[in-house]
Amino acid sequence: MPPPSQYSDLTDPSFLSCLESLYLLARKVIGGELAADRRSNKRGSGIHFADYAEYQFGDDYRQIDWKIYARLENLFLKLYELEEDVSINILLDISPSMEHKLAYASKLAAALGYIALSNQDRLSLYGLSDRLSLLMDKSHGKGAIMKMLKSLAGAQLCGSNTSFSECIKYYCKRNPKPSVLVVISDFFFPSGYDEGLKLLRSSKNDVFCLQVLDPSELSCDYHGDVEIECVESAQTKLMTLGPLERKRFAQVVQKWNEELSVSCARHEMGFLQAFNSTPFEEVVQVLLRRGGLVS
């Protein structure tokens, strides 16, 4: 398997080979659960026997169990569990603060999307910035993999002053039915993230938050008199930065990230923090071995 730095194109054969390896790992780690968890309480002509029911006029006579009839002289139908596909929606942060992380975040989205489509789940992709944009409408099956990869490869940074809660309100209106929802972002939203997470929790979605960071964001290397510009709002501010200010910066960032983890736990959401210096395959493998997100 080539090193991650060689995956410059999401549609490159070497990258596709890596995604297939991760999918096979998912099958190995989770085994039959990927299919078993999709079984519905509904009854129909699936492949897993569930129960019997008395035959009623108009029922499918092909489901009659003639052995039961021979013993009881009554007509009974064989019922089976239906296997339902799962709707998986990925919200990928494409706001300006993701400038040095979007390529990495896109690889994570591609891996999760590849596994979802290979499992015959229904997948949608959204871009998260000052508004929610549709990157790929609901698609199904392995035939949609190239469509998914091209959608991610075409995602561009846009927007300003991202409002996570407004984007989630729009998402919930567009997707009233609960689904598996993955948010891939640095979660550096000017107005915060907790209100958006509350909205997702109340909508009964199965939510997983994947925070993508650059190690350089955890500390401040500037010193002296500098003009700081917010990459999200483009607002500027003149500041004098010394040792105390740089220490305070690191503390604030650490607190912000720790509170995100706590907020996800409080709302019963999955959470994982990943640095773009870590090979993306390792992050996906951690998710798989945890049994979260895809099980």
Last residue of a domain, one of 25, 51, 83: 83
Token pair, residue 228, equals: 């700081």
The confidence band for 19, taking pLDDT boundaries of 50, 70 and 90, is very high
pLDDT for 242-265, tens place per residue? 889 889 999 999 999 999 999 999
The answer to whether position 282 is within a domain reads yes
Residue 93's DSSP bridge partners are: 128
- Residues 59, 122 within the same domain: no
- Residues 8, 146 within the same domain: yes
pLDDT at 4 > cutoff 50 = no
- Residues 77, 155 within the same domain: no
pLDDT of residue 36: 39
Pick from 60-74, 113-127, 180-194: least confident:
60-74
Place of tokens 């998402």: 171
Residue 115 corresponds to which amino acid? I
- Residues 165, 232 within the same domain: yes
Identify the burial level of 276 via C-beta atoms within 10 angstroms of its C-beta, where 0-12 means exposed, 13-18 middle and 19 or more buried: buried
The answer to whether position 295 is within a domain reads no
Q: In the chain, what percentage of residues exceed pLDDT 90?
A: 54
pLDDT of residue 280: 95
Q: How far apart, in whole angstroms, are the C-alpha atoms of residue 72 and residue 229?
A: 81
User: Taking residues 198-213, what's their average pLDDT?
Assistant: 91
The confidence band for 39, taking pLDDT boundaries of 50, 70 and 90, is very low
Q: In the chain, what percentage of residues exceed pLDDT 70?
A: 82
pLDDT of residue 29: 66
Range of the domain at 64: 39-83
Residue 270 corresponds to which amino acid? G
Q: How many domains does the chain contain in total? A: 2
pLDDT for 58-112, tens place per residue? 666 667 777 776 777 777 777 655 445 678 999 999 999 999 999 999 999 999 9
- Residues 286, 154 within the same domain: yes
Task: Look up the CATH number of the domain holding residue 94.
Answer: 3.40.50.410
Place of tokens 């960032």: 253
- Residues 257, 229 within the same domain: yes
Token pair, residue 95, equals: 């706001």
- Residues 13, 90 within the same domain: yes
The answer to whether position 146 is within a domain reads yes
- Residues 49, 103 within the same domain: no
- Residues 153, 229 within the same domain: yes
pLDDT at 50 > cutoff 90 = no
Strand order in the sheet with 48-54: 39-44, 76-83, 48-54
pLDDT of residue 192: 92
- Residues 70, 158 within the same domain: no
Strand order in the sheet with 270-275: 132-140, 122-128, 87-93, 180-185, 206-213, 270-275
pLDDT of residue 74: 77
H-type helices in the chain, by residue range?
13-30, 33-36, 66-72, 102-118, 145-153, 164-174, 194-202, 243-266, 280-290
